[in-house]
A and B are shown apart, each in its own frame.
Chain A
Amino acid sequence: MIAEALFFSAVLFTIGVVGVLTRRNAIIIFMCVELMLNAVNLSFIALSRLHGSANGQVFVLFVMTIAAAEAAVGLAIIISIFRHHKSVDLRNINLLKG
């Protein structure tokens, strides 16, 4: 049971990472980051059950809270970028260049 849950979590996380690395659309990358967060949440829950401890579940609640806040801020930034560039393609956005 635990092995399947962790395997599923790893698959989800990898899909998230590959999405972040390969896609150019900011919204999609953002969604992939959410995917990674939830993959971690899944492994937290699974391990919490394995160890019979509530700590993991408490962490999940925190992660969900932070993720919600992050989603709000992140989407706001993406909207503001879109207003400025008329695009959310990250290839066009390299203002942090050294």
Chain B
Amino acid sequence: MDKIFGIYGDALTLRERRMNMLASNIANAATPNYKARDLNFGKAMASLADGDALDNSHIGYRVPLQPAMDGNTVELSTEQTQFAENAVQYSTALSFLNGRINTLRRAMTGE
């Protein structure tokens, strides 16, 4: 199965995980002392490719461009752009998967 669908299944899982984290950051935009978190997608993907189980070692704290007085490190502009980018990349992984499924289907039906 893994060879048929390549890395896109893993990519989708990680993209979803990252979407959850970015949504949490946006949800906590006004919470004092909340520290924005993000997933290092490249490193997480590499460790999945090595066959390692997914742990929390790829989660890091965002360094704010300009620290706020209340200790909150969520910057909505950053989070929004990252969220949008992540959503697009989720869609991309999904289209690659769909393409793969269509290829297999055509091969099986012999059209």
Question: A and B: partners?
Answer: no
